[in-house]
């Protein structure tokens, strides 16, 4: 196992930590955690004890009142309302939650999720016409969710057709913004900086909140709508889209996870059971179990299957849809592994990782639905920005993932003369180009990344939240630990360093894992669990470790333990 450098996130912060402990009576490890996460003292109460009542006013969005008034007008005119979504988990859940709220209040709602291969990405003139043609009556209002901020042509086309467009999105805008009735996207408003971490589902929730608020204020409706009930969709979409679990995201996910655990929707219940989740649902279960199954529909065939699962109110149908998703997810895993192995072979044969700062691989007819996952795995495995291309005829289509602080969209803009199309997030992008330009593109990409990237971005290290002693993991600490949840992107589980530990006992779990007990120099003891560490790795006289403190519950008994992240020999 290659050793990564260990880096303390709160080095040289002892004075600040001591002040926080003294002023707010925090256990030292909790103070370390808050400092390493750069949570300002004024924000700590909100971080630990924030309630849904702390969500900001949705009217802060410019144009929001005009948007929701037009929706209520359409409802009273009995005019169809079209929701144009996206084919990933964020787009599907955003579609489902907004449709649910509008239907509860009498709206004639129609939904359209583009087909990844037939329709391509986002809101386009072609997807507009395809969606509208499926509606019998003329559509007057179209709402995009998780897409639309770069869809100027599609919005103009909708205007010509007599359709008012409300764009809700969370992606970066281009040089031109659409001429829509309202643009509900925090990324285009400097005054909404605190909301710029919202996922598509979070932005759709803001529109739903404003819709209900406006309805109640003007005695139009919304009185029986309980917005907290749709936070399960917000949690699912927000966690799946890997946006920071901070600020309002944190509030909504914290409540949404509790609703997911109740499994009130037949589709959610079937999805959880098919995923074989037996313990209490955690955000990591959404990331690694639920979201991949929802995404599988859009990756492998038609995302409508996933939307039908989330919206269905019949448990028998729900099990049928979840079974379809399970089959698609198995197929997705097979295709992903095949491409991943071919990509690794290309890297070994063609890319010098001592000299090259980025990875680009390409294959004939690689499945377009899974190349993004392969790019993620390659970026993680090699700690390099990675782009994976599938060659389809004369064209190459690809997905890329970044590392560190490198903004891949900004970097790609410097190769825009070679690319036919590109866009996405700083950390995740999509591209299209002529297959004959792949070599030229890689040369340009490598040159630009070498200028943009920082050496630290390519240095592999494991960050930890500070050095603590076993005896500091008190009952008080574990009570506060629960308040730090939910853990996820930008709010990971705490990792602490424990020095000079002596092994008291250990025993193997299967061939790959180890359990045991450590003792420190003050004779304090604690149990540990070490996944993917063999018993032989604990043979040193003294060890330093990085570990996640947790409560191990078996039956009705709970005991503190450490989950080992890394270890190194003292002697």
Residues 82-111 pLDDT 10s: 999 999 999 999 999 999 999 999 999 999
Instruction: Tell me if 52 is assigned to some domain.
Output: no
16's enclosing H/E stretch is helix 14-24
CATH code (residue 362) = 3.10.310.30
pLDDT of residue 3: 58
Q: In this model, does residue 489 exceed pLDDT 80?
A: yes
255 three-class SS: helix
Instruction: Tell me if 15 is assigned to some domain.
Output: yes
- Are 75 and 213 part of one and the same domain? yes
pLDDT digits (tens, 9 = 90+) for 116-147: 888 888 899 999 999 999 998 999 999 999 99
Task: Name every residue whose Cβ is closer than 8 Å to that of residue 90 and which is 6 or more positions away in sequence.
Answer: 146, 199, 200, 201, 237, 238, 240, 241
pLDDT of residue 251: 96
Structural domain containing residue 406:
351-453
- Are 95 and 202 part of one and the same domain? yes
- Are 94 and 214 part of one and the same domain? yes
- Are 167 and 232 part of one and the same domain? yes
- Are 227 and 107 part of one and the same domain? yes
Residue 376 confidence class, pLDDT cut points 50, 70, 90:
very high
Averaged confidence pLDDT in the chain: 94
Residue 470 confidence class, pLDDT cut points 50, 70, 90:
very high
pLDDT digits (tens, 9 = 90+) for 352-368: 988 999 999 999 999 99
- Are 149 and 194 part of one and the same domain? yes
Q: Which two tokens mark 242?
A: 């890997």
Instruction: Tell me if 50 is assigned to some domain.
Output: no
Instruction: Tell me if 340 is assigned to some domain.
Output: no
Domain count, the chain: 4
pLDDT of residue 91: 97
Instruction: Tell me if 492 is assigned to some domain.
Output: yes
- Are 114 and 184 part of one and the same domain? yes
- Are 221 and 102 part of one and the same domain? yes
Task: Name every residue whose Cβ is closer than 8 Å to that of residue 374 and which is 6 or more positions away in sequence.
Answer: 336, 339, 340, 343, 388
- Are 437 and 469 part of one and the same domain? no
What angle, 0 to 180 degrees and rounded to 10, lies between the N-to-C axes of helices 304-311 and 291-300? 140
Domain boundary among the residues 334, 360, 381 is at 334
Q: Which two tokens mark 327?
A: 């089959």
Q: Where are the alpha helices (DSSP H) in 314-368?
A: 315-350
pLDDT digits (tens, 9 = 90+) for 311-354: 999 999 999 999 999 999 999 999 999 999 999 999 999 999 88
- Distance between CA atoms of residues 166 and 155, nearest Å: 9
Rounded to the nearest 5°, which phi and psi values hold at 431? -140, 160
Instruction: Tell me if 70 is assigned to some domain.
Output: yes
DSSP assignment of 405-462, as one string?
A: T--HHHHHHTTTTT-SEEEE-SSEEEEEEEGGGHHHHHHHHHHHHHHH--GGGGS-EE
pLDDT of residue 2: 47
pLDDT > 90 in the chain, percent: 87
| Contact of 508 with 534, CB cutoff 8 Å | yes
- Are 103 and 225 part of one and the same domain? yes
Domain boundary among the residues 429, 453, 477 is at 453
Domain boundary among the residues 248, 279, 310 is at 248
- Are 443 and 539 part of one and the same domain? no
- Are 99 and 142 part of one and the same domain? yes
| Contact of 105 with 225, CB cutoff 8 Å | yes
Instruction: Tell me if 341 is assigned to some domain.
Output: no
CATH code (residue 129) = 3.90.1640.30
Q: In this model, does residue 1 exceed pLDDT 70?
A: no
Task: Name every residue whose Cβ is closer than 8 Å to that of residue 1 and which is 6 or more positions away in sequence.
Answer: none
Instruction: Tell me if 254 is assigned to some domain.
Output: no
pLDDT digits (tens, 9 = 90+) for 185-236: 999 999 999 999 999 999 999 999 999 999 999 999 999 999 999 999 999 9
């Amino acid at each position: 196992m290659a050793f990564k450098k260990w880096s303390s996130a709160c080095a040289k912060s002892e004075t600040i930590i001591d002040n926080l402990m003294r002023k707010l009576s925090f256990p030292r490890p909790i103070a370390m955690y808050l400092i390493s996460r750069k949570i300002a003292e004024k924000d700590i109460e909100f971080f630990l004890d924030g309630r849904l009542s702390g969500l900001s006013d949705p009217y802060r969005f410019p144009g929001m009142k005009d948007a929701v008034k037009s929706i209520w007008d359409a409802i009273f005119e009995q005019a169809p309302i079209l929701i144009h979504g996206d084919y990933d988990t964020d787009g599907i859940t955003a579609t489902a939650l907004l449709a649910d709220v509008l239907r509860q209040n009498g709206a004639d709602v129609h939904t359209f999720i583009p087909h990844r291969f037939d329709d391509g990405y986002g809101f386009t003139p072609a997807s507009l016409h395809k969606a509208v043609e499926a509606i019998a009556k003329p559509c007057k209002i179209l709402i995009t969710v998780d897409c639309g901020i770069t869809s100027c042509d599609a919005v103009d086309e909708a205007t010509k057709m007599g359709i008012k467009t409300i764009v809700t999105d969370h992606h970066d805008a281009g040089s031109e913004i659409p001429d829509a009735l309202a643009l509900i996207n925090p990324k285009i408003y400097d005054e909404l900086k605190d909301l710029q971490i919202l996922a598509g589902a979070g932005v759709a929730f803001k529109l739903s909140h404003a819709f209900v608020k406006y309805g109640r204020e003007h005695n139009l409706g919304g009185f029986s709508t309980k917005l907290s009930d749709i936070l399960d969709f917000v949690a699912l979409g927000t966690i799946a889209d890997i946006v920071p679990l901070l600020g309002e995201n944190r509030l909504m996910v914290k409540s949404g996870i509790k609703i997911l655990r109740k499994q009130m929707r037949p589709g959610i219940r079937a999805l959880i059971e098919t995923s074989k989740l037996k313990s209490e649902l955690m955000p990591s279960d959404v990331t690694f179990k639920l979201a991949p199954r929802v995404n599988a529909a859009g990756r492998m065939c038609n995302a409508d299957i996933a939307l039908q699962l989330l919206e269905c109110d019949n448990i028998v149908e729900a099990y049928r849809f979840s079974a379809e998703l399970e089959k698609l997810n198995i197929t997705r895993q097979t295709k992903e592994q095949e491409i991943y192995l071919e990509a690794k072979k290309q890297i070994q044969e063609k890319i010098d990782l001592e000299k090259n700062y980025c990875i680009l691989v390409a294959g004939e007819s690689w499945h377009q639905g899974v190349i993004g996952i392969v790019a993620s795995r390659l970026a993680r495995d090699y700690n390099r920005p990675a782009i994976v291309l599938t060659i389809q005829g004369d064209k190459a289509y690809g997905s890329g993932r970044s590392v560190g602080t490198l903004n891949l969209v900004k970097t790609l803009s410097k190769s825009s003369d070679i690319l036919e199309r590109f866009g996405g997030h700083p950390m995740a992008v999509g591209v299209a180009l002529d297959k004959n330009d792949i070599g030229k593109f890689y040369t340009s990409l490598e040159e630009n990344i070498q200028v943009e990237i920082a050496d630290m971005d390519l240095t592999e290290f494991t960050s930890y939240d500070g050095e603590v002693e076993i005896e500091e993991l008190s009952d008080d600490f574990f009570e506060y630990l629960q308040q730090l949840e939910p853990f996820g992107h930008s709010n990971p589980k705490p990792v602490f360093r424990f020095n000079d530990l002596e092994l008291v006992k250990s025993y193997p779990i299967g061939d790959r894992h180890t359990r045991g007990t450590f003792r420190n120099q003050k004779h304090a003891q604690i149990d540990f669990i070490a996944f993917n560490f063999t018993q032989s790795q604990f043979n040193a006289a003294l060890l330093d470790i990085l570990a996640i403190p947790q409560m191990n519950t078996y039956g009705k008994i709970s005991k503190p333990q450490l989950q080992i992240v890394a270890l190194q020999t003292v002697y």
